[in-house]
Structures are given as structure tokens and as C-alpha cells.
Structure 1
């Protein structure tokens, strides 16, 4: 008997509609876009578009299931098992009932390995599947990546990031599930070409779309309009002017203080508790409320980030993926020459040890203190 042939996910069944998989990248307005879609579910449905709802957190849990990374996020097996199939099934129900488009979105999907991509596409066999990758300039991505890791417990400086990741790219991706690879996490997470290659290998380049985040100061509506164009959705179905949650950023002194608090906390909180008490409550609540400007990556990084950006844009043009936005918007946003680096003194007059104890007390009062395994941030 001949071997089973791979299922063709390019061909669309009659009336099957379009499924748009928005797979990230991280820190590219994904939280805002997801909140915008969720806030307009009724309007989108009326316009033939579904942002499928199964239960709170289902898309995140489904993405984690696809990636096999529930331990990293501190999730129980019952939270993720079957979540991806359930989201895809809900999308399929809408399309089979006459809907035109289903949008599924989570940035955890962006780094999926080829076998994980196949796992994600399997429940969508026979549908017209399109993949959208959102990307932002590497200057802002560098500081955003650093801050996100510090919010999650890292204690390393921006100089550490620059040395160990930004200037240490090998370009080598993992060869298989047991190969950790030698590429720093920043580059794997931000490689827009790698993400498009893995996600469109079966689908074809005509199903891949690159959406470029607009430059600083641009209206929020610009990102939505570019995303809607890529997804084939009428942009008028939503109001991008709504006040919606996003990922709060920190100023340089607040980031330095959070690093010191993380050192004082050590490993005394597991990932779920840390995310709620430290990341959401303290970092994105108290510290972000100061309104300090996010630091800019040093001007000297232009020698690394500019060539990488140009090489990616050349590859995008050669591959034939659709680009939504001005390629110049990917020019790295960097500090002027001579400006201070993001590594500055912490907020004056605050005792990191006292803050750490306060956060431990808050977690302990809820019965949530637990030793967490040491996290290797460079993976």
C-alpha cells in the first residue's frame, strides 16, 4: 500500500470560507488586535466574520497546546488538552453555516516548529487558510523583548541582552525537537521570514501576509487597517478608536527597579503566581502608571539591526508574500548617538527587598506561594 499522502490544506471546500491564522510576532500589537476583535464579536459576525469564542483563554491554551509548552506557562494538562481542536471546530461551524472568514490569533504560534505547524493545520484541512505575521522595527522590539523578560522574572541588564542575544545570532534554528539550537531566543522570536517560511511551506506564498506595524506616533487605526486588509476583513466593522488594553511598557528606572525586585524574590513564586502578582499587578499596574517613556535601544545597534532588517525585506520580496504597510516602517527606531543606554539607576527611594516581601505577603495571603523552577532566559 502506498504511503498516505499529506492532506492538502490549500484547496478550499465549496462554501468552506477562509481561515486567517494570526501567529504573531510577539510585541507587535497582538494584544491590542486581539482585544479589538473580541470587543467587536457581534459586529464582525454580522459582517460574516467570526473571532471564535469557546471559553476564556481558549486561543492562548490552544496555541500552547500546539507548541507543547504548557509547563513553561504553568498550565495544567486539562487546561490545554483539546483547546486547539475546539477553537478550530467553532470556526468551522460558523463557516459551514455560511460565514466568510474566521480569524484565530495568538503570538505563541509564531515560533512553531514545522511539525507543530502541521499539527495546527490538521483540523483546518480543506479550508482556505491564510497566515498573517505582524512585525515591528527591531529597535523597539529589542527593548520590548527585554522588558517582557524582566516582567516574567529575569534580572539581566540590557547590556546582557545585547551581548548574549542581539550580537550573538547564529542563524541556526533547531534541527529537531531534541535540538535546542544555538540561535538566541530574541532572533527566533522576531524572525519574520522564518515564521512565514514555516507557516506557508504547505500553503504556498500566496497565503502568507506580512503586516508592518506603523512608526511611533501613527494612529492606532493604521495597524488595524493593515491587518484587516491582510485578513480580508472590512475595516469598517470595528472601531479602532476604542480604549482597549495593551501591554504596558516601563521606563528605564522602573525596569531597573523591577530587576532588583526580581533578585530579591528569587525563585519563591511559580510562573502563574508571578504573572499575576508581579507582572500584572506590580509591573503593569504600579510601575507602568508612572508614565515614564520606554527607553530606546542604543544607536550602536544599527550595525546589527539594520542589515538584518534589509536582508529580511529582500527575502520577503523574493518569496512573494504579500506586504501590508510601508517597508520603511521597519527601519529600527534607536536612540540618538551619545544618549544613555537603557541601563540606568533604579527608582530612587524604593527598597527592592521591601517590595519583594510585600508581593510575597500578597501571594501568601492567597495561599499561592510556591517554589518555581529556575528559568533559563536565553532559551
Structure 2
């Protein structure tokens, strides 16, 4: 298919979700590698968002449906004004796709989550169809019980403090888990052949990895190291972290009357817990998971017949309840002892992080003092660095240099010994060894470009 100028129009992959199926990992990797992608003839647009392209679905729904969009998305603007700017920028970006672009990828789990009526999906098609040839709709499906288990931590992150238990109702209430309806809506608009559902389970993913599976499935030969941190974005929480968050949230509600899940305080607290206490998340009893999954048996079978006819069942390894096992009548309250353990680990990590930040700040001050030729003030700043990080190599070296200049050779040698012990391969070890072999009167310390490299 060609455009108005006779050039071939690129293909489009619409990655519509669902959330908690590695979408964040895919988006962050694509967003961080736009230049590499461009060299491959692949474009990951900027106008809908840096990583998550949620401005696109947000622009297609009524204003009252925008409450789940993170406030930072609006960049300090009113939503209507930000969306108007997006529409103009998106049209310009699509019309200006460089020659040689063979594929464009748009990724936002909100596409499946927010566009829930056929007319809304049709509006999306009208918006993108003029710019592209083949359009492929990508959606990863996760077994409903596993998805809700994983999403529980996400609900806590936004201030939903309800205890961990499966919600009431089946596909008629929990429409986001009616995969037959969702896929049917997109197929009705884009055509049966365009919709390409895949299963989010290790045995169904290439290499057991969502990023590798997505890149191979859509012909994107992007090299992503196995240890790239973006591969494991948005992990769940350790069970004790869940208890801690529930107790913290309840305390804020008690003191302030309500918990604002978008407040800077809550967001920073959640970020700290995420970084310090990742884990396996909430794991319900098998009987409870099996009972929840059974509510979706009919819709899952409809998906299997239509999209996965060669599989005996849609999902592998469903939970099985032992005879006589019944789900608990009420979910357990937070465990104070487990929460206390989590709080101690969190405080220790936050304290270490704060000390590292202060050490970095004092090191910057020390270097500034050196450039201003204020040796005593610089030395005091290096001492402050060591109070926060006793292993800082540059600060140890500066202590040795100061002692050497003052004729305190044994003290200088002691500092050198400590530096050699802590950082045996550091360039400062050899530099200090040469310096201390000369008399102090022959030593010239420069705070300019000849100063040793600041590696920390």
C-alpha cells in the first residue's frame, strides 16, 4: 500500500495491553532506544508519550473517563489543553515520518483499558489508518486469577487499601477480564486477521521473556542485553511490603481523613517500598484462585475456539483446589510483625541512600572549594564526605595528600594503606604511591584539570 506521493506506507503495530503483562518493560525499552530503532526503519513516536503512549487513548474518550491517567501526564496543563497539543503534534509526527520507515509501534495498555466501545475503537482507526498500510493489533492475555494477583500491588500503589481478595462478579461485572468481548470489539473494527492475541505465560513466550517475544513477533531486530533493568520493570511487592503499605496507608487515612494516591508524599513512599522490597506479591489460596478463574470459563473457551483452536485450553496449568479446601471467609489483616521487618529494611535502605546523596553533595562542594583555592574549606568538605561514606576513594586520597603536605607521613601512609585495601585497582593508589615517595616540598597539588579523576 502506498501513500499519496507513491511511497510505501509503513506498517503499524498497535500494542493495546493488557496491563500487568510486561507492557512497561516493552515501552521503556522502546522509548530508551529510539535512535537504534530508527536505524532499523522502526519508529516509536514521541508525541503520545515518552514510553507509555497513553495520550492517544486519552484523546479519544470523554473527560470524565480520564481519572485514571497519572497527573504528571498533563505536564502542569489542563487536560483539554494538553490533549489539544497532543493531537496537533501527533498529526504532524505521523505526516512527517521519514522516508525508509517500515514500521511504527504504538504501545499503551490504556488502549484496551479505556477504549471499551466499538465507536471509540473506530475513532482510533480513522485517526491512524491514513498513515499506514497493514495494521496489526497486539494484545497479551494473562490468566485472570494471576492477573488480579499481580494487579493487587498496583492497586495499593494508587491508594486502594482494600484487603487482598478476589472481587465479586464475573465477566458481566469485571469486563476487563472478558477477553472474548475485548478481542471481538477490536476485530470488528480492524478485521479478524489484524488482531493477534498472545498468551502471557512463560511457556508461551519466546525465551520465556515478554520483551524477546514482542521484538521477534513484530520483526524488530533490536539487541537488548539480558541484564537490562528495563526488562524487569514494575515488579510486584514482597508480602511483608504489602502489609507495610496497608498499615502506612491506614495511618495516613486516620491522620488526614483520606489518602490521596497521587500525592507526592504517597508516591515517594511507594517508590521507596518498590525499590527496597520487590517480591512475589500476594498469593491467594489455590481454592480461592480456582473459584475466581471458574467464573471466566465460558469467555476463555470462546477465545480459545476463535483465536487458539489448536490448544486444549486457553491457559496452561490452572489452579487446582484440593478436595475440602475452602477459601477463607475474610482476608487476613496486615501482619504487624512482618510490616515491622519491612519497615526496618526500608529505613536502612533509605538511610544508606540519604548518606550516599549527602556524600555526593559534599564532594561537589569540596571540588568547588578547590577550584576557588580554599584548601581548608575543601578539606572540611572532604571530611564531611567521609562521615557519610568512609570508603570514598577521592576523599581518602585528599586526606592523604593533606597529611603529606603537612609532613605527617605516617598518617599519609595510613590513608594510602586504607585506599589500597578498599580500592586495590583504583588509579589513585598508584598516583598516591608515587607522590608519597617524594618529599612533601617537591609535591604540587593541583585542583585544576590535573586533579585525579572523581570516580565517585
Output the TM-score relative to the length of structure 2: 0.59
Cα deviation 1:100-136 (Å, max 9, x = unaligned)? 1100001111121222212222211243221111122
Q: Report SS of the residue matched to 1:116.
A: helix
Kindly provide the CA deviation profile for residues 314-371 of structure 1, in whole angstroms up to 9, marking residues without a partner as x: 3234334799x9977654468997999776514344899xx9xxxxxxxxxxxxxxxx
| 1:123 corresponds to which of 127, 130, 141 | 127
Q: Based on CA coordinates, which of the two structures has the bigger radius of gyration? A: 2
Secondary structure of the 2:160 match is coil
Shift of 1:93: 2.8
Matched with 1:41 is 34
> What is the distance in 1 between the residues matched to 2:312 and 2:212?
13
Question: Which structure 1 segments of 5+ residues have no match?
Answer: 1-10, 173-182, 356-379
Deviates more, 1:67-76 or 1:256-265: 67-76
Partner of 1:256: 243
Instruction: Name the one with the larger helix percent.
Output: 2
Distance 1:320 1:350, change over 3 A: closer
Residue by residue over 1:163-221, the C-alpha shift from the partner in whole angstroms, topping out at 9 and shown as x without a partner, is xx2x412x33xxxxxxxxxx1xxx323333322222221211100011222339x8876
Q: How does 1:317-328 map to 2 (within 5 A)?
A: 317-320=304-307
Instruction: Please state whether the residue corresponding to 2:189 is helix, strand or coil.
Output: coil
State the match for 1:237 in structure 2. 222
Measured after TM superposition, the shift of residue 254 of structure 1 is 1.7
CA–CA distance in structure 1, aligned partners of residues 234 and 87 of structure 2: 24
TM-score using structure 1 length: 0.70
Which residue in 2 is equivalent to 1:168? 169
Aligned to 1:283: 270
Q: Structure 2 unaligned runs (5+)?
A: 347-456
Counterpart CA distance in 1 for 2:320 and 2:92 is 44
Which whole-Å CA distance do the structure 2 matches of 1:201 and 1:213 have between them? 23
1:285 is displaced (CA, Å) by 2.2
> 1:192 & 1:229 partners in 2: Cα distance?
24
Asked which structure has the greater RCO (Cα within 8 Å, sep 6+), the reply is 1
Alpha carbons of 1:108 and 1:58: their partners in 2 closer, same or farther (altered >3 Å)? closer
The aligned counterpart of 2:430 is none
1:67 pairs with 2:61 = yes
RMSD: 3.7
Shift of 1:270: 4.5
The whole-number CA distance in structure 1 between the counterparts of 2:36 and 2:93 is: 17
